Amino acid sequence: MGKEQRRQLDAILRQGRLDTGGEVATLRATFNALMAQVPAPADVQQKPIEIGGIGGIEVTVRGNEAEGVILYFHGGVYVIGSATTSVALAAELVRRTGAKAITLEYRLAPEHPYPAAVEDARAAYEGLLAQGADPGQIAFAGESAGGGLAVATLLALREAGTPLPSCAFLMSPYADLTLSGETLDEKQALDPVLTPDGLRVRAPEYVAKADASDPQISPIFGDLSGLPPLLIQVGSHEILLSDALRLAGRAAATDVAVTLEVTPGVPHVFQGFAGVLDEAGAALDRASDFLKTHLEHSPSHVQRA
């Protein structure tokens, strides 16, 4: 696919690079303004929603009638981002799957450190079940911190004996807040989005007084047995590449059905650039096939008590 597309995107991202180590209020405002430049298409419908006491946005596309629900967790190193900033990417999945998405407004650090995000994600999922939703008709999806949060939430639900969703789609998951991955330094020069220094500033704000190696903070250290099928997509130019590799390895070692896709030469959460990068659209197509397969054919994934 497009080597020139990748080169141009890399240049754009480097020119407008976000300093994730900056002051929180300024960082949030800058990130929100940046994401506002990528509006959702006109046929995407957005409705504020509250589920399990947690706010979010229900994302649908006119004409879609599938029963499935994608519970979506936005990225932003647990400190920035919002349901609104994730609508455009969630809508790409909605359009391709026919399902609806609920992108969640989980609480952010440093005001609300761990376990706030996991508690909110779990409450929203349990809220869907309380409304009568079939777990087999629910999928998790998330990017960056949202990808790590998806797996952390699966672990929390499993420990509680709650029926699990059909599957989870993870884009560039941030799954090791101990920051021990070897690609953190190895890929630093290639990554136009994240920096090790930025993560070192933000990670302690979420971890706070907890242990960063707690599996519900850093799922790569957990026993992933019993989780539903996972699809993990990551780019080869990411400092978080080793998070995805180790998470996939951990899943495979515990008999979880896991598919790992490493796309060469693309940046963090490259799926968000489907309008300018051929690899992004192709990855979303594969992810949507994965989601549709499990939403249409999965029985309720009931974990042992």
Q: Kindly name the residue from 237, 268, 294, 301 that is annotated as catalytic.
A: 268
268 is catalytic: yes
Three-class secondary structure of residue 206 per DSSP: helix
Q: Kindly name the residue from 82, 144, 166, 172 that is annotated as catalytic.
A: 144
112 is catalytic: no
Tokens of 166: 């059909």
Interacting residues of 279 by C-beta distance below 8 A, sequence separation 6+: 1, 2, 5, 6, 263, 266, 270
Least Cα distance to 148 among 165, 172, 166 occurs for 172
CA distance 30 to 281: 26
48: phi then psi, degrees, rounded to nearest 5: -60, 140
The terminus-to-terminus CA distance of the chain in angstroms comes to 46
Three-class secondary structure of residue 170 per DSSP: strand
* Amino acid identity, position 62: R
Q: Kindly name the residue from 92, 143, 238, 279 that is annotated as catalytic.
A: 238
- Residue 55 DSSP symbol: E
144 is catalytic: yes
Distance of CA 92 to the CA centre of its chain: 14
CA distance 89 to 91: 5
CB atoms within 10 A of CB 14: 12
Residues annotated as catalytic (active site), given as ranges: 144, 238, 268
